[in-house]
Amino acid sequence: MTSKLSNAQIAWRAAQDIHDGAYVNLGIGYPEMVARFQPEGRQAIFHTENGILGFGEAPAPGEEDWDLINAGKKAVTLKPGTAFFHHADSFAMVRGGHLDVAILGAYQVAQNGDLANWSTGPKGVPAVGGAMDLVHGAKRVAVITDHVTKDGKPKLLESCTLPLTGVGCVTRIYTSLAVVDVEGGRFVLREKLPALSFDELQSLTGAPLHLQGDVADLIVPEV
């Protein structure tokens, strides 16, 4: 397989589509990296399920205040206007449709937009958690993920085989090889790595990729 984007590069590409002033929730773990790459002149307002809105970047090592953490238990900093509120109010914001975008990781995404990003397997977690609220409360749901699993199996599929987080919720997928939209129950290819042919990409995808107009080159800086 051709070279692929790093996790940081995928996060950079996803960050370019967040508009100025957007209210954004980033999934625990890898998706949190998206906050590092906000385009110059744009500032998202980040929300975390445990009850903070408008927090800042991670503090320098050794300067953490462990009373100030996000939902992933990582230390954050405060910015002017940062707000604190009850966990229940935080989920009322989510369920009330007040978030512009949620960016989550994924084990599998189906061509109709179904998302599976949790598992009860040997290294799984006991429940789906707040992601099930985010995928149906946010106005837009995007996924960042490697295009294939560690053993080379497709993560973009005709249908998910793992427990679902949400049904028909994903609209765009940023992978290590391409940017793919979910439209009309199918995958539409928008961007791909220049060195990768369409046929090569299709062979690594578990459902048909459709074309609508030109496919742009997926060009990402070293980050």
- Distances in whole angstroms, Cα of residue 152 to Cα of each of 1, 92, 147, 148: 10, 39, 9, 5
Q: How are beta strands 101-104 and 52-53 bridged, if at all?
A: unpaired
The residue length of the chain stands at: 223
For the question of residue 32 being annotated catalytic, the response is no
Distance CA 194, CA 15 (A): 20
Q: Select which of 40, 49, 57, 158 is catalytic.
A: 49
Within its chain, how far is the Cα of 17 from the centroid? 12
What's the rounded Cα separation, in Å, for the pair 171 and 183?
Answer: 7
Cα separation of 130 and 166, whole Å? 11
How does strand 52-53 pair with strand 45-48?
Answer: antiparallel
Beta strands in 11-134 (DSSP E): 23-26, 45-48, 52-53, 83-84, 101-104, 108-110, 115-116
Query: Are 195 and 3 contacting, i.e. CB atoms less than 8 angstroms apart?
Result: yes
Would you please indicate which residues are annotated as catalytic (active-site) residues? 49
